[in-house]
Structure 1
Amino acid sequence: MIVSFALFGFGLSALFAVAALYVRAKVEDQLVVSSLQRDADSYVQQMHESPGQPFYSKLMTGWGWSDRTLYKAPLSWQALPSGVHDIYETDQDGETRHYKLAVSRKYGLIAFVKYDVSRDDLGKQQLLISVIGAVFLFGLLSLVLGLWLSRKVLKPVTELANRLRDFRKVGKAEPLAPYFADDEVGELAHALDEYSVRLTAMVERDREFNSDVSHELRTPLAVIASTTELLQGSPDLTEKLSERLKRIERASRQATELIEALLLLSRAERRGPTRGETTEVGKVAADVIESQRPQVRGKPLTIELAVQDQAVSVNAPASVLAVALTNLIGNAIKYTLEGTVRVEVGDGRIEVIDTGPGIKPEDAERLFQRGVRGEGAGGSGAGLGLAIVRRLCELYGWDVSMRPRDDGNGAVACIKFS
């Protein structure tokens, strides 16, 4: 608003100034030229009809010669045709003065009428200075007016924004509409109050749902885990049943980790990520690989883990990292029919390299969107695994990406830890 008012005032004043100068110059030039030409014509007519009679003019000076006596005229005038000409001459004080010289040639006579326009030039200069001063004055007034109006008009909006910031500091929202008049800003405050009520109700439902899930799901999972542990200690347990109990135990642990990660993600997206727990990436990767080995059965597939001498640790719960790696390693095993799935840990990152069908470079980023599944995914899965991985990585400032292998045979999933 301030800039608009300032530019509008300055532009309007400048346009008025240019128009005033142009009109003045145009009218003045027409008046002077027509007056001079009329006097020159009148003077030559007077010399023709009444030779010897003097020419009288209060504003102009005139001279008349015949063709034989034209040599008496100034040399620069003698070749001038009929019409009005601009000439510049030096006066007795050595100053250059501007004149308009009207020339009329008739009946073998030549009349010259000279008009001093230096005074008009001075008037033009003074007018130009005055107009420029007026332009800047009106521009300044427009700026002040724009500043005043913007403060007056935007003051309620600024107050509304400050109250919203105060709500964020306090942690709870209060009605806004009572503090504002029944105008556009008041209508906006009323709409914000309605939105705040709906948002608060939604957050409360989300918080209650998270609390219910935390209680209702953890309890049966804990029962499954404890029962499985007791059954594994039975002396008459066969090898086949032992293997099935281990699968139940791994599935229970994965479900517990997934629930913890999702609840943590839900809480942290409102209050920020939970830190303070240091997790060793290589150890979590080894546990995840062991839990995924049942998927390898029946496939000519090898899973390798390569950890550099220097251990890589992250400041995040183990459940978060386990959920992310379970999705990446599980996808690699699912899509690779034969060959190798290699997990490399080191240099502040972890990479999962497979020898599966690979991915297209243009599809690499799209795979992290909800509901998007890779080619050859089959009928299982809802396309949410990589989307959850992306959310967890964004929460903790990690960079997750996928790309095709350089040789085109397989894909590389990578997490760079901050």
Structure 2
Amino acid sequence: MQYRRRLRTRIIFSFFLLGFGLTALFAASSIYLRSKLEGQLIESTLQREVDNFVQQVRDNPQGTATFSMLSAKIWSTRNAYKMPLALQNLKTGVYDIEEVDSNGRLHRYKYAIRRDADLVSYVRYDVTSASLSEQRMLLLVAGAIAVFSLLAWLIGIWSSSRVISPVLELARRLRQMVGKENTQQLAPLFPNDEVGQLAAALDDYAARMTQIVRRDREFNADVSHELRTPLAVIRGATELLLANPDITDKMRQRLLRIDRAALQCTDLTTALLMLSRNERGMGSCDISRLVRQLAEANRAHLARKPVEIFVEGLDGVVIEAPEAVLSVAIGNLLGNACKYTVEGEVRCRVETDRVLIEDTGPGLSTEDAERLFERGYRGSSVGNTTGGGIGLSIVRRLCELYGWNVSIAPREQGGAVAVLQFH
């Protein structure tokens, strides 16, 4: 989750946050220190002036007190009612008070008030100019934050373009390599840094993938030739033996079983080759005729089980797909239904755009229905049946290749129903 954003965006954002954070921290500390020092200075000045004022009056009651930059007044406790109303109830201390002068201008003052047993006095200090300078400082600090943040953002854009350019070049060269058989090495084109190490790793990965693809193609070619040829020989020999009128019925049944097994191996080889190459084969198939053939082949395997196979539905339904692919897909679904049905029936119904296979077997759970097409999964009710659990996985992969849909679900009457849905 933390690597969703592009690398360049993360670098720009990091520089922006760094510039903004440092500038904001500097501005906040400057404002705090200025306010702290200024407040301490003003308060100490006022306190010193009021003490000096009282001392002058005590030393020379008839003289005139002098101040450097303050104004002050003093009353005896008997005349304290002459003080301004805003000050009469204030105790000894320093206060911030706003007043409007005769010209209607607002002034901000700090009052230092002292109350003794015989005297009441105050010293007033005008801090209007200091407040205005503080406002100007705030504006300047805000402007500095904006300028430094913008500068950090621009630096982030410039530096990210420098940092990302090798990665973008590596990505561009990788896109150029798509679909090409012979590709040049990437590592010599980049310096021996992080990008160079990534390019070397990609070269190693590409070399290993090339070997895997080459071995896969060689294997496909070998399978296509080395398996189909002996299967064709087996089927040819079987046909010759079946043409002999002197063989017994038992021998004829065994030869027919060999012929069906050879045909099934041929179809499975064709389907697996298409899956390995990820390409669709051409052709068309009468689905009704194929279902009847597959049903007849499975009846031979059900001689010892009280299970009947019925084929119903439409005739003449043609699907645009190779017969080998449809034989593997429908054959696995039908064989799976016959394998797990101990007694009862298996019904195959052909419709215009799908094939339904219903059985009266033990049924399946919801978990089995969801995972039955996973490779190696055999379900919870397999009993003593054998198999590696890959037949339905092959069916699912064939359906993905041709754009079909396949599903197996429990029936309300018991058993299960498999549906192969075409376009």
The answer to whether the superposition gives a TM-score over 0.5 is yes
> Is 55-64 or 11-20 further displaced after alignment?
55-64
Partner of 1:302: 308
One of 89, 96, 99 as aligned partner of 2:99: 89
Tell me whether 1:319 sits opposite 2:324 in the alignment.
yes
Structure 1 residues 304 and 119: alpha-carbon distance in aligned structure 2, compared to 1, 3 A threshold: farther
Deviation at 1:286, TM superposition (A): 3.1
Deviations 1:329-386 (A, max 9, x none): 1011011001122234447443332221122212333333333323335363222212
> Is 218-227 or 347-356 further displaced after alignment?
347-356
SS across alignment from 1:54:
coil
How many angstroms apart in 2 are the aligned matches of 1:15 and 1:310? 82
How many angstroms apart in 2 are the aligned matches of 1:261 and 1:281? 17
How many angstroms apart in 1 are the aligned matches of 2:300 and 2:158? 74
Identity of aligned residues (%): 48
Partner of 1:396: 402
Q: Which amino acid aligns with 2:35?
A: A
Deviations 1:171-226 (A, max 9, x none): 44321111111112112212221222222112111111110111011111112222
> Is 207-216 or 344-353 further displaced after alignment?
344-353
> Is 112-121 or 256-265 further displaced after alignment?
112-121
Question: For residues 146-225 of structure 1, what are the structure 2 equivalents within 5 Å?
Answer: 146-225=156-235
Structure 1 residues 173 and 413: alpha-carbon distance in aligned structure 2, compared to 1, 3 A threshold: farther
SS across alignment from 2:39:
helix
Report if aligned partners of 2:288, 2:314 keep a CA contact under 8 Å in 1. no
- TM-score (normalised: structure 2): 0.90
Deviations 1:20-41 (A, max 9, x none): 1122112212221222122223
Partner of 2:124: 114
One of 384, 404, 408 as aligned partner of 2:390: 384
One of 25, 30, 47 as aligned partner of 1:37: 47
Deviations 1:80-112 (A, max 9, x none): 111111111112221222211111112421111
Question: For residues 127-142 of structure 1, what are the structure 2 equivalents within 5 Å?
Answer: 127-142=137-152
Report if aligned partners of 1:401, 1:413 keep a CA contact under 8 Å in 2. yes
Structure 1 residues 310 and 43: alpha-carbon distance in aligned structure 2, compared to 1, 3 A threshold: farther
Partner of 2:5: none
Partner of 1:338: 343
One of 345, 353, 362 as aligned partner of 1:357: 362
> Is 20-29 or 303-312 further displaced after alignment?
303-312
Deviations 1:267-301 (A, max 9, x none): 11xxxx32654445444333322222212212221
Tell me whether 1:6 sits opposite 2:13 in the alignment.
no
Q: Which amino acid aligns with 2:260?
A: R
Partner of 1:62: 72
Tell me whether 1:405 sits opposite 2:415 in the alignment.
no
Report if aligned partners of 2:74, 2:120 keep a CA contact under 8 Å in 1. yes
How many angstroms apart in 1 are the aligned matches of 2:167 and 2:130? 54
In the alignment of these two chains, the number of paired residues is: 412
Q: Which amino acid aligns with 2:184?
A: E
How many angstroms apart in 1 are the aligned matches of 2:249 and 2:32? 107
Structure 1 residues 221 and 310: alpha-carbon distance in aligned structure 2, compared to 1, 3 A threshold: closer
Q: Mind listing any 5+ residue stretches in structure 2 that lack a counterpart? A: 1-10
Structure 1 residues 248 and 102: alpha-carbon distance in aligned structure 2, compared to 1, 3 A threshold: same
Deviation at 1:128, TM superposition (A): 1.0
Report if aligned partners of 2:50, 2:112 keep a CA contact under 8 Å in 1. yes
Structure 1 residues 306 and 34: alpha-carbon distance in aligned structure 2, compared to 1, 3 A threshold: farther
Tell me whether 1:227 sits opposite 2:232 in the alignment.
no
> Is 138-147 or 362-371 further displaced after alignment?
362-371
SS across alignment from 2:85:
coil
SS across alignment from 1:299:
coil
Q: Which amino acid aligns with 2:328?
A: V
How many angstroms apart in 2 are the aligned matches of 1:6 and 1:293? 75
Structure 1 residues 174 and 280: alpha-carbon distance in aligned structure 2, compared to 1, 3 A threshold: farther
Tell me whether 1:25 sits opposite 2:31 in the alignment.
no
> Is 187-196 or 374-383 further displaced after alignment?
374-383
Q: Which amino acid aligns with 2:304?
A: G
Tell me whether 1:103 sits opposite 2:113 in the alignment.
yes
Report if aligned partners of 1:44, 1:110 keep a CA contact under 8 Å in 2. no
How many angstroms apart in 2 are the aligned matches of 1:309 and 1:247? 26
How many angstroms apart in 2 are the aligned matches of 1:280 and 1:43? 118
Q: Which amino acid aligns with 2:338?
A: I
Deviation at 1:325, TM superposition (A): 1.5
Deviations 1:231-275 (A, max 9, x none): 33334454433333322222111111000001111111xxxx326
Structure 1 residues 62 and 415: alpha-carbon distance in aligned structure 2, compared to 1, 3 A threshold: farther
Structure 1 residues 368 and 80: alpha-carbon distance in aligned structure 2, compared to 1, 3 A threshold: same
SS across alignment from 2:211:
helix
SS across alignment from 2:389:
coil
How many angstroms apart in 1 are the aligned matches of 2:121 and 2:316? 108
Q: Mind listing any 5+ residue stretches in structure 1 that lack a counterpart? A: none
SS across alignment from 1:77:
helix
SS across alignment from 2:290:
helix
How many angstroms apart in 1 are the aligned matches of 2:67 and 2:352? 101
How many angstroms apart in 1 are the aligned matches of 2:199 and 2:15? 27
Report if aligned partners of 2:112, 2:123 keep a CA contact under 8 Å in 1. yes
How many angstroms apart in 1 are the aligned matches of 2:354 and 2:126? 89
> Is 315-324 or 259-268 further displaced after alignment?
315-324
> Is 94-103 or 210-219 further displaced after alignment?
94-103
Partner of 1:367: 372
Deviations 1:44-81 (A, max 9, x none): 23223322433323332111111122222211111111
Report if aligned partners of 1:295, 1:334 keep a CA contact under 8 Å in 2. no
Tell me whether 1:264 sits opposite 2:269 in the alignment.
no
How many angstroms apart in 1 are the aligned matches of 2:166 and 2:22? 30
- TM-score (normalised: structure 1): 0.91
